[in-house]
Amino acid sequence: MKTSKNAPSSLKKRGALLAGYLFLFSVLGEEVCGQLSAPVKRPNILLIVADDMNWDSPGCFGGAADEITPNIDKLASEGIRFFHAYANISICTPSRSVMLTGLYPHNNGAEGFQRIHPGTPTLPSILQEAGYLCGTVGKPLSQEELFRWSAAYRWPGAGDENQWGRDPAIYRSFSRQFFSMAKTAHQPFFLMASSHDPHRPFGKGEAKQAPQERADSSRTFRAEEVKLPGLLPDLPGVREEFASYCTSVRRLDDMVGAVLEELEEAELVDETIVLFLSDHGMPFAGAKFNCYPESVRSPMVIRWPGTVEPGALDERHMVSMIDLMPTLLDAVGLDSPTTDGRSFLPLLRGENQSRRDAIFAQFHHIHGSDALPMRSVITREAAYVFNPWSNGKRRFARLSGSASSAMKNQAEKDPAIAARIQHLELRSVEEFFDLSQDSSCLTNRIASEDSQKQIEALRSRLRSWMAKTSDPALSAFDQRDQPEALEDFVESYQATAQQQKDELRDYEKRKGYRF
């Protein structure tokens, strides 16, 4: 789906500002990097990140509606789809920090909206040292200076419901200038294009987002057109909000098309690795802010002409975001620092790779408040979740939006939905789901006698991972049958989260901004 190159005058003005901003950051980047040419010709990297999009929303992964993502589908036909790709945490900044460091949140420092530990090697910093021009456009991280971008253009601050993080025309303009800059400098590039779609507020869907403050999607979906995922009940209010979500998915796809068209116009397709994914699952009950498969599963597509077979599908191997940095560095011929992940470059070449049968996810807190520590191990067949915060009283308070409101209203007369909401709000310390029969994780089978052998195997696997990665929640896991010990852990965890929140506020004040 093409986006018009004939932008209105208001966008032309923004384009002029964008050009100056791009130039300013490029010059500053040159001064910081001190290295503008790469002695070895290496592939370019274009990383396109969706915000809060479920793995099965694009058409090439099933589709939340017919003809919802023509551009992503085209990209998939030219590259490889990973059927089992996952984030490692279902919240925006921590997930992106994992992508760019190859470290789990408890190892890179960004458990919520905190900064990564200063001095942590990042993908853009390593690529810059190798002569890459590194740029980012769209949704920002809260510590951009630690990632060392050469060029940056971001929408003006979280909370501004405007089109700057969603308008395909902005991404088109920045990409065009960025690609031109890289060609003129004879540098390989790394560009991270991060849309704010389909994060709330959805396109055409919420009254608080005024029409003049948002860019149009090329298609608006109606409630009767959408295909609800299994974790959501089929209610009118749910359908209506999910249709708005689908409209935002389509606008994301418009952005993908705009950036890819500019790459083609610049004649850089054959020498560019394009990677598309979502930072985690959708912002609906039972997905985002959790550790379930639907919380962290991501629609990953990679196109690399001459290396990746067009139209390939990997349904066997499980990969996750901690693997991205080592994989991309491996692909361009650079050594990776020590990370928690490992390269899956062999999979891009159509080869097999061992030890790709599980991924690990975690959750910590939001903005330093409401500490809800969770851990999970997910295989193709099952998922085990550890919730040390669950005590029968403490509630998960993130069931927001009109779809959740519709579910709560229906719960007054529907026992099944009432039970679903009660479980989502209260949980249990342990959860187990047989994904072969319950892919949406609706029925906790932790007490099932038939599943105890499988449960114990997953417990053992999760504990080994926690020990290997120095997870501070390991002691709580070892005392999961001791309520007082779990309460002590959560209280300490909350105090640490609050301290991190205070430190972040101080940092933002010193820097003069807030994200």
144: which 2 tokens? 């951009």
Per-residue pLDDT tens digits for 141-161: 655 554 556 665 654 443 444
In angstroms, the CA 249 to CA 202 distance is 9
Q: Averaged over 317-341, what is the pLDDT?
A: 99
Cβ count within 10 A of residue 9: 7
Interhelix angle 92-101/324-331, rounded to 10 degrees, is 40
Cα separation values, 366 from 182, 242, 471, Å? 37, 24, 19
Q: Averaged over 196-208, what is the pLDDT?
A: 74
Closest by CA to 374, choosing from 398, 343, 345, is 398
Q: How confident is the model at residue 301 (pLDDT cuts 50, 70, 90)?
A: very high
Q: What is the DSSP string of 71-97?
A: HHHHHHHTSEEEEEEE-SSSSHHHHHH
Q: Averaged over 325-340, what is the pLDDT?
A: 98
Q: Which CATH number fits domain 364-390+427-506: 3.30.1120.10, 3.40.50.800, 3.40.50.300, 3.40.50.360?
A: 3.30.1120.10
In angstroms, the CA 423 to CA 436 distance is 21
Q: Averaged over 260-276, what is the pLDDT?
A: 99
Q: Note the Cα 122 to chain centre separation in Å.
A: 17
Q: How confident is the model at residue 213 (pLDDT cuts 50, 70, 90)?
A: very low
For the purposes of burial, counting CB atoms within 10 Å of the CB of 36, is it exposed (0-12), middle (13-18) or buried (19 or more)?
middle
Is residue 174 scored above 90 in pLDDT? yes
CB within 8 Å of 23: residues ≥ 6 apart = none
First to last CA, the chain: 32
Q: pLDDT at position 22, please?
A: 47
Q: How confident is the model at residue 398 (pLDDT cuts 50, 70, 90)?
A: confident
Q: pLDDT at position 37, please?
A: 47
pTM: 0.90
In angstroms, the CA 244 to CA 209 distance is 12
Q: How confident is the model at residue 370 (pLDDT cuts 50, 70, 90)?
A: confident
In angstroms, the CA 466 to CA 469 distance is 5
**Which range has the worst mean pLDDT, 77-91, 243-257, 341-355, 388-402?**
388-402
Q: Hey, where are the domains in the chain?
A: 9-35+54-342, 364-390+427-506
For the purposes of burial, counting CB atoms within 10 Å of the CB of 443, is it exposed (0-12), middle (13-18) or buried (19 or more)?
middle
Q: pLDDT at position 210, please?
A: 42
Is residue 65 scored above 60 in pLDDT? yes
Q: Note the Cα 139 to chain centre separation in Å.
A: 11
Q: How confident is the model at residue 269 (pLDDT cuts 50, 70, 90)?
A: very high
Q: pLDDT at position 114, please?
A: 82
Q: How confident is the model at residue 3 (pLDDT cuts 50, 70, 90)?
A: very low
Q: pLDDT at position 154, please?
A: 53
How much is the mean pLDDT over the chain? 88
Is residue 212 scored above 70 in pLDDT? no
Q: Averaged over 270-297, what is the pLDDT?
A: 98
Q: pLDDT at position 511, please?
A: 67
Q: How confident is the model at residue 207 (pLDDT cuts 50, 70, 90)?
A: very low
In angstroms, the CA 243 to CA 59 distance is 15
Q: Which CATH number fits domain 9-35+54-342: 3.60.110.10, 3.30.750.80, 3.40.50.300, 3.40.720.10?
A: 3.40.720.10
Cα separation values, 510 from 1, 154, 158, Å? 43, 20, 18
Q: pLDDT at position 151, please?
A: 64
Per-residue b or e along 294-332, where b marks 16 or more CB atoms closer than 10 Å to that residue's CB:
bbbbbbbbbbbeebbeeeeebeebbbbbbbbbbbbbbbb
What letter represents residue 50's amino acid? Answer: A
Choice between 86 and 150, residue whose per-residue pLDDT is larger: 86
Q: pLDDT at position 371, please?
A: 87
Closest by CA to 219, choosing from 69, 74, 56, 75, is 69
Q: pLDDT at position 138, please?
A: 87
